[in-house]
Amino acid sequence: MRHFPLLLAHELRMLAVSVATYSAAVLFLLVMGLFYFLVLYQYDMELRNDPPATLYFRIFFIPVFFVVPLLTMKSLAEERRFGTLETMLTTPASALQIVLAKYFAAYFFYVALWALTLLFPWIAIEYLRATDPASPLRDTASLTGGFLFVCFSGLLYIALGVFASSLTRNTLVAGMLSFSMLFVLIVSGNLLPYLPLQDSWLAHLQTAVDYLQTFHHLEDFTRGVVDTRPFFLYASNTLLVLGVTTLVVEARATA
On the CB side of 91, CA atoms within 13 Å amount to 15
Distance of CA 19 to the CA centre of its chain: 21
Q: Which of 111, 74, 99, 110 has the alpha carbon at shortest distance from 8?
A: 99
In this structure, the number of other CB atoms found within 10 A of the CB of residue 3 comes to: 14
In this prediction the pTM is 0.86
Q: Tens-of-pLDDT digits for all 255 residues of the chain?
A: 677 888 888 888 888 887 777 888 888 889 888 888 888 877 766 666 777 788 888 888 888 888 899 888 888 888 888 777 777 777 777 888 889 999 999 999 999 999 998 888 888 877 777 666 666 666 777 888 888 889 998 999 999 999 999 988 888 899 899 999 998 888 776 665 555 555 554 445 555 555 667 777 787 787 777 777 788 888 999 999 999 999 988 886 665
Contact (CB, 8 A) for 72 and 162: yes
d(CA 129, CA 137): 10
SS3 content of the chain, % helix, strand, coil (to 5): 80, 0, 20
For 26-47, give one letter per residue: b (16+ CB within 10 A) or e: eebbeebeebbeebbeebeeee
Contact (CB, 8 A) for 158 and 106: yes
On the CB side of 60, CA atoms within 13 Å amount to 31
